[in-house]
Structure formats: C-alpha cells, structure tokens
Structure 1
Amino acid sequence: MDGLEGSELCYPQLLNSSCRGLMRPRPEAVLLYTLLSSVTVLTVALNLLVIISISHFRQLHTPTNLLLLSLAISDLLVGLLVMPVETVRFIETCWLLGDLMCALSYIIGFSLTSASVGNMVLISIDRFVAICYPLQYPNKITRGRIELCVCLCWAGSFLYNGLILKEHLGQPDRHNSCHGECLVVISYVSGTVDLVFTFIGPCSVILILYMRVFVVAVSQARAMRSHITAIGAVTVTAKKSEKKAARTLGIVILVFLMSFCPYYYPSLAGQDISNSASSWAIVSWLLYFNSCLNPLIYAFFYPWFRRAIKLIVTLKILEQDSSQKNII
C-alpha cells in the first residue's frame, strides 16, 4: 500500500512498524460520522425513555416490564459504550485508543450482546408461562425470581465472554501485524462454542416457546369466540392483554433474530471470525442497530409507552404523585 495515494501511516514516528491506511475523503467521513452519531444519540435517548418510564410509573412495575427494563439497559449501554467506539473504528483507518481499550471494547460489546440474548430468552419464558399457564403465572413468575434471573443473566454474560476473550485481554496485540491495528480473531473452536451458547441454543429455546405460545393463543382465541359471556368479559380482556404483549414481544424477538443471523454466519459456515473481514462492520452495525429498533417497536405497539413519553417530555413526571398516574 506504500504507493497508494491518500494513504498515511498510523504512527509516522514508527515508520515500517506502523500500519498504513487509505484515508477516507473528508466529505465521506463527515457524512458517516453524522449518520452513525445520529443513530447513537437516538439509541441512547429512546432507551433512556424506556428506562425512565418503567422505573418511574408504579403501574409498570411488573415482572414482564422488569425484563424489558433489563433489555433497555443493555441497549442503552450499547449506545453509550459500544456505538461511539465502533463509529471511530469503522470510519478511521487507524486504532488510536491503545491496546487496553482494544481488548475492553470487544469484551464489553460481546458481553452486552450476550446479555441481550439472555434477556430475550427470559422474555420468551415469561410469555410462555403467561399464555400457557395463566392461573399459575402469578406464583411462578414473581418479581424476586425475575430479579434473580436478570442478575444471573448479566453476571453470566460477562463471565462467559471474559473466558472466551481471556487471551485477547491478556495480549491484545497478539494478532496485530503493525502498530495502529486492533484485530481480534476468534478460533473456529471458540466460535463454535459461542455459536451454540449465544445463538443456536437460545434461539432454539425462543422459537420452541413462541411456537407453543402461538398454538395456545390460537386455541384460546377460538374458545373465547364461542364462549364469551358478560361474566367472563374481564377475563377475556385480561387474556387479550396478555396476547397483545406476547405479539409485541414476538416482533421484538423476530427483529432480534434477523439482526443476529448475519453476525453468526461465519461460524455457521465453519470459518474463523475476524474483524478484518470486509463484512464485519456491516454485520456488526446491523447487530447494534437492533438496540435502536427495540424502543421504536415499543412506541409503535405499546400505548403506555407513548403516554409515558408525553409525560416525560412535558416534565409532568416532576409533579407530586406522578408515579401513581394511570397510563395503562
């Protein structure tokens, strides 16, 4: 690349040991920074609204919404910690943040991704019990159990990814060919383990549970149409509410699966995973963009979220006893 016009050394003082990159035209770099920064700000703002809504309004303090809160926190952290770093990595040709940040950026990104997957599995289990075992739901799915599961999900995500990337953390530059590079390579064996534990296993559980939910929901809908009575109106309304929540969260999970499939394609194809691949930036940003889509889905399908946003934006949540407002 020595003869390429517009290429520059990452560290000119290191001469031949420095990476050389082809610099992007300034208009292109400005456009990309503007676009990706906008996505980052939107992701942070929307997920912050979800977190404030569920945390503030007492009506929303349900086990299901606690899972949505955990998912929103992971999406918020993706916007705060991962997207800015990935923006710089994608646009700039040199890594200028040092070896430690190189290692931490991947561990944080992979851990938040695993936490999102875990939250999706917990959401599927919650909806499965709510639809298939409605009478036992209050006893089986309690706030305490949900909080324990969420804590285990987060702790397990960081522990698991710390083990997968421990060699990269101990020696971040082990795969670098020159100074100014931040390269991570996950071997086929580690990639296969990650594929099973982070994608195939969880996705299988999610799909099986939602297929069961769909079958039960259809049978219940048929039964309700033929046995609706005035006495059972409240029960019918409650069941409809549960099914609407299941449908909305089913859309969240479908979008999640569509975002994750391209990322895990190399492992499915039996290849090593490396961020030097030309498609890495595209599939990574598709994965991270899912963190922006989740709250948009809530806003479109959940009336309570739209009402909560209105109260937050107009600062009415600062009023006394605003947490007791009826927004459902």
Structure 2
Amino acid sequence: MVNANFTSPNQTSSNSTLPQLDITRAVSVGLVLGAFILFAIVGNILVILSVACNRHLRTPTNYLIVNLAIADLLLSFTVLPFSAALEVLGYWVLGRIFCDIWAAVDVLCCTASILSLCAISIDRYIGVRYSLQYPTLVTRRKAILALLSVWVLSTVISIGPLLGWKEPAPNDDKECGVTEEPFYALFSSLGSFYIPLAVILVMYCRVYIVAKRTTKNLEAGVMKEMSNSKELTLRIHSKNFHEDTLSSAKAKGHNPRSSIAVKLFKFSREKKAAKTLGIVVGMFILCWLPFFIALPLGSLFSTLKAPDAVFKVVFWLGYFNSCLNPIIYPCSSKEFKRAFVRILGCQCRGMEHSRLTKPDWVCEGSLDILGTVHPVMGELEEGTQLLRART
C-alpha cells in the first residue's frame, strides 16, 4: 500500500518547487527497485502459465494460487512502477486524479493478495480435514465463486477514498499517498490484514493439528496390522518361474509398510507441514505486520507516527511479499518446478500433452501443504521393486 506521506523532506508546498535530485541515489534505488519489480512480474507470470499450460495443475487449489499471482502481477504492473518512480524522484508527477486511482488500485491489489492467502488456508484445511469428501466439497465452480468473493471484498475495502472517505487533498499535487483518515485506516487495516490473518492462523493451526493426529493414528494402525501379520507374500513373475514366496517380516527384515509408509507420512505430513506453514505464515507476518501496525497507529495518534524513512522501509516490505509468493507456494511442488523449467525452455505447448497417463486426481502439482496418500503408494511400489531386485 502507498505511503501516507511519501514525499521528499526538501519539498515545499509550492507547485513550482521541486526537490533536488540525487543522481547517485536515484540510479541505485531505481536499479534495485526495478530488479525487484521485474522479478515479481516474471515470477507471477510463470505461476499463471504453469497452470494454463499443464492440465494436471488445473485444480481448485491452484486456481486460488493463480488468483494470488494475478493480484500480485496486477500490483507489479500498475502500482509498483509508479511507487518506484515516487521513491526515486521524491514527488508525484501524474496529478491528483491519477493519484487517487493509483492509491485505490494499490489497496485493491494488496487486499486481494492477502485474501487469496486466506482462501488458500481455508481450502487446505478442508482438503486435510475432509480428504475423502474434498472433491465434492471444493469444486471448480466453488473455487471460482471464492475468487469472485475475494475481488468483491477487496473492492469494498479499497473504494472508500474514491467515494470521499478520506481527508482533504493536499494543496500540492506533487504529494500522493493513501488516506490518513483515522476510521478508514482502521477499517482497511482490519479488513485487509488483521481479520484475514486471524483466519489464516486458525486454519493453519487446525491443519497442523489434524496432520499430527492423522500421522499418529496411521502409524498406530500400520503397526497393529503388521503385528498381526507374520510374513509378506509377493508373487514374482519372471521368465524362469511363475511364482515364488518371499518371507520378509522376519527372515529378510524388510517391511515396506512400516519402514516406508510410516516414515514417509511422518516426514511428508508433520515435517513438511511445519516447515512450509512456518515459511508461509512467517513471511506473511514479517512482510505485512510492520505496515499494518504503523498505518493505523500513525493515523489515530500523531505522536506515534513513524518517521518517513521507517515508513518507507515497512511500505516496501509489504510489497516484497508479492515477490515471495511465487517462491513460497509453487516451489513447494515439484510439478510447478518442472513447469517453470519447461516454460523457460519455451516448451509450453508440450506440457499440455505431457504425462497423459497420469490421472488428474493424482496431481502432485496441487499445492498440498501436507502431501497426500498417493506418494505413499508410489513409495510402496518402489519398495516392492526393491524386494524383487534383491531376490
């Protein structure tokens, strides 16, 4: 979101007086911000193309991720270049009307990005808590309705200043920023950050609790089943014989279900959940919390208003989250990583027809914070092949 007082300290109230431009600072800051904006644009475009070019990634969860990427891409195209110009020049050059529109689009995109994260957290809780019913509970139609709801709520939160819910405009058209009107600042902070943050924390805490309980129950069930079984019989076919019996429980010491399945579930669910959710929630809080503390406090209490230098840091830190999202979410999926490589290698057309033998419901590209049961079956098959090779 836009700094509420993002102007140079050397600027006067006269429209004809401009702050002196420090060329060295302008070039260095411009290069850094330009690289950041370019990275955000490329990263979010890669996310969108990955889903568009790969049918295995077209799942309700990934639709929410695409919506997040669209919000961040829109921010990167329509807001960040002007924010960078304002930072480099120290004053606004496009007039009052465009300033108001720019500020509203800024709030719109940032709010849509945060609400998309909120929708993803709800989707992941449903997927983990009701895994068997998930395909019927979360359909593509419902996902699209969720996306529309995100943009409607974001519009409601951002449109207030355009309808007059703001303090009087400054006399100098070279000043531009989001409104400091106290009640709007409080309203936008609650709607754009604190309420979605509460939902995200509650959902992800429940996700982790369910994952931990499921892992514990699964491990107990597997151990109980294996204690009642004395040996595992595998039918092995080869050109030399039709059947053979392999005793693995005690004679060989191999137990695919206990040594592979339990271990995989433990690491795939507990460790991956703890790590991924820690990164997602941690980066989200790190990037946005400073801004949404400084904005309402500075608007409600003038004595607590942050200095311009501090506000600029927390202001760009919030923007930085749009650059992190294409890393945190898609890069937790090997399928997204492969899609990125193929797109960068100009192989988007081939992705549509690749891996046609893999059914849509076994989609490792779906952003599953906790993993799914399908990799376990792959590991069990891998373990069976290992047993065959050693006989």
Q: TM-score range by the shorter chain?
A: 0.7 to 0.9
Residue 316 (structure 1) aligns with: 347
Residue 135 (structure 1) aligns with: 132
> Of residues 86, 95, 101 in structure 2, which corresponds to 1:104?
101
1:1-328 superposed matches below 5 A: 17-18=14-15, 20-167=17-164, 174-228=168-222, 244=272, 248=276, 251-267=279-295, 269=297, 271-272=299-300, 277-298=308-329, 300-319=331-350, 321-322=352-353, 328=364
Following superposition, the deviation at residue 62 of structure 1 comes to 1.0
Residue 3 (structure 1) aligns with: none
Q: Matched residue of 1:186: which SS? A: coil
Query: Does the CA-based 8 Å contact 2:330-2:337 persist in structure 1?
Result: yes
Q: Matched residue of 2:164: which SS? A: helix
Query: Does the CA-based 8 Å contact 2:211-2:269 persist in structure 1?
Result: no
What letter corresponds to residue 164 of structure 2 in structure 1?
E
C-alpha separation in 1, matches of 2:25 and 2:19: 13
Query: Does the CA-based 8 Å contact 1:117-1:202 persist in structure 2?
Result: yes
Q: Matched residue of 2:290: which SS? A: coil
- Residues 40 and 267 (structure 1), Cα distance of their counterparts in 2 relative to 1, 3 Å cut: closer
What letter corresponds to residue 18 of structure 1 in structure 2?
N
Following superposition, the deviation at residue 32 of structure 1 comes to 0.7
C-alpha separation in 1, matches of 2:263 and 2:132: 14
C-alpha separation in 2, matches of 1:267 and 1:180: 21
Query: Does the CA-based 8 Å contact 2:40-2:76 persist in structure 1?
Result: yes
Query: Does the CA-based 8 Å contact 1:175-1:183 persist in structure 2?
Result: no
What letter corresponds to residue 258 of structure 1 in structure 2?
L
C-alpha separation in 2, matches of 1:36 and 1:249: 28
What letter corresponds to residue 90 of structure 1 in structure 2?
E
Query: Does the CA-based 8 Å contact 1:57-1:324 persist in structure 2?
Result: no
C-alpha separation in 1, matches of 2:283 and 2:163: 31
Query: Does the CA-based 8 Å contact 2:157-2:188 persist in structure 1?
Result: no
Query: Does the CA-based 8 Å contact 1:54-1:69 persist in structure 2?
Result: yes
Following superposition, the deviation at residue 96 of structure 1 comes to 0.8
- Residues 29 and 271 (structure 1), Cα distance of their counterparts in 2 relative to 1, 3 Å cut: same
C-alpha separation in 2, matches of 1:74 and 1:158: 12
Segments of structure 1 that go 5 or more residues without pairing to the other structure are 1-6, 10-15
What letter corresponds to residue 127 of structure 1 in structure 2?
R
C-alpha separation in 2, matches of 1:111 and 1:312: 29
Could you say which structure has the larger radius of gyration?
2
CA offset digits 1:137-161 (Å, max 9, x no partner):
1221111101111012112211331
Query: Does the CA-based 8 Å contact 1:317-1:323 persist in structure 2?
Result: no
Query: Does the CA-based 8 Å contact 1:185-1:272 persist in structure 2?
Result: no
Query: Does the CA-based 8 Å contact 1:43-1:292 persist in structure 2?
Result: yes
- Residues 158 and 120 (structure 1), Cα distance of their counterparts in 2 relative to 1, 3 Å cut: same
C-alpha separation in 2, matches of 1:246 and 1:127: 14
CA offset digits 1:11-35 (Å, max 9, x no partner):
xxxxx73264432421111111111
CA offset digits 1:65-103 (Å, max 9, x no partner):
111111011111111111101001111122111112101
Residue 4 (structure 1) aligns with: none
C-alpha separation in 2, matches of 1:259 and 1:246: 19
Query: Does the CA-based 8 Å contact 2:294-2:306 persist in structure 1?
Result: no
C-alpha separation in 2, matches of 1:237 and 1:127: 20
C-alpha separation in 2, matches of 1:77 and 1:299: 18
C-alpha separation in 1, matches of 2:66 and 2:28: 33
Q: Matched residue of 1:219: which SS? A: helix
Q: CA RMSD in A?
A: 3.2
CA offset digits 1:180-210 (Å, max 9, x no partner):
2224433221222222222221111111111
Query: Does the CA-based 8 Å contact 1:184-1:275 persist in structure 2?
Result: no
C-alpha separation in 2, matches of 1:276 and 1:97: 25
What letter corresponds to residue 133 of structure 2 in structure 1?
Q
Given the two structures, how large is their TM-score scaled by the length of structure 1?
0.84
Following superposition, the deviation at residue 164 of structure 1 comes to 4.6
Identity of aligned residues (%): 29
What letter corresponds to residue 217 of structure 1 in structure 2?
A
C-alpha separation in 2, matches of 1:323 and 1:102: 47
C-alpha separation in 2, matches of 1:164 and 1:84: 22
CA offset digits 1:86-144 (Å, max 9, x no partner):
00111112211111210111100100111112111111111111112222212211111
C-alpha separation in 2, matches of 1:26 and 1:270: 31
C-alpha separation in 1, matches of 2:37 and 2:330: 18
Following superposition, the deviation at residue 297 of structure 1 comes to 1.9
Following superposition, the deviation at residue 279 of structure 1 comes to 3.0
